[in-house]
Amino acid sequence: MAALAQSIRRSAIGLGLFALITGGTIAVTQQLTADRIEEQQARAEAAALYEIIPESAHDNDLLNAILLLPPGDRPALQGPVIARVASQDGEPVGLILPAVAPDGYSGDIHLLVGINLSGEVLGVRITGHRETPGLGDRIELKKSDWVLSFEGRSLDNPEPRQWNVKKNGGVFDQFTGATITPRAVVKAVQDTLIYFRKNQPEIVAAARALASGEAAGEDRDLSEKEQR
């Protein structure tokens, strides 16, 4: 009996050490993977910024020209909005706002929406998603040119009820075998344009102040105004 008890204790200790080592290895691997994913996403977003508003169209540091805007009341802009301002010769030429389509087929779809001061879309890029390869992933520019169909659009072009895919009476194409994904992106872009129009005077004023140097070295936080 003593030998059996000792054998059981040794087995238990061995299993415990194995579990500890395995758990630690998994935790380290997850942390390293998460760091790499975050770094890759940051690089993808930085590249997308300059695809939406190319360097030839502005002369400021787009990565560091930041406006912190208040949350919107639309699903696409629920948290504080970190916008980037592109300017040329001290005048803003456009902003890039992050948005989220929460109703993608496989979850959240992250995107960037570039808008000029008049409220027209300069460009849209997808920065993160888990949509089905070969179907929903055609929202990516490297898979198709579908996302380019937003350029030059505004809340009045097309009219509000046509901000949808063609299957639902809109003007935007859907994908064969995948309607949910493009419909979610269309809605998120429309939400972003609605948010911009509602806050347009304040956003444009802050962008001009930032571009002219009045807010040099500081992030303008419009959300503070909302709290007063």
Tens digit of each residue's pLDDT (9 = 90 or more) over 40-81: 666 767 899 999 999 999 999 999 999 999 999 988 998 889
pLDDT at 116: 98
Per-residue burial over 217-227, b = 16 or more CB atoms within 10 Å of its CB, e = otherwise: eeebbbeeeee
Q: How is the chain split into domains, by residue range?
A: 53-227
Residue recorded with tokens 């520019």: 141
Of the candidates 95, 92, 91, 96, the one whose C-alpha atom is nearest the C-alpha of residue 110 is: 96
Half-sphere exposure of residue 35: CA atoms within 13 angstroms, side-chain side: 6
The DSSP bridge pattern shows strands 220-221 and 66-69 to be parallel
Which DSSP helix (H) or strand (E) runs through 124? strand 121-128
Give buried/exposed letters for 141-167 (b at 16+ CB in 10 A, else e): beeeebbeebeebebeeeeeeebbbee
Q: What is the pLDDT along the chain (228 residues), one digit of tens a residue?
A: 566 556 666 665 656 555 556 555 555 555 545 456 556 666 767 899 999 999 999 999 999 999 999 999 988 998 889 999 999 999 999 999 999 999 999 999 999 999 999 999 999 999 999 999 999 999 999 999 999 999 999 999 999 999 999 999 999 999 999 999 999 999 999 999 999 999 999 999 999 999 998 445 545 556 555 544
The 3-class SS string of 53-78 reads CCHHHCCCCCCCCEEEECCCCCCCCC
Burial of 26 (0-12, 13-18, 19+ CB in 10 A): exposed
What is the pLDDT, as a whole number, of residue 90? 92
Q: So what's the pLDDT on residue 45?
A: 79
pTM over 0.75: yes
pLDDT value of position 27? 53
Q: What is the DSSP letter of 173?
A: P
pLDDT tens-digit series, residues 32-50 = 454 565 566 667 678 999 9
**171 CB-near residues (< 8 Å, 6+ apart):** 158, 162, 163, 164
Spatial separation of the C-alpha atoms in residues 7 and 18, rounded to whole Å: 16
Cα gap 33→73, rounded to integer Å: 34
- Using a 10 angstrom Cβ sphere, with 0-12 exposed, 13-18 middle and 19 or more buried, the burial of residue 18 is exposed
Please give the structure tokens belonging to residue 97.
Answer: 């706002």
Instruction: Quote the CA–CA distance of 172 and 186 in Å, as a whole number.
Output: 8
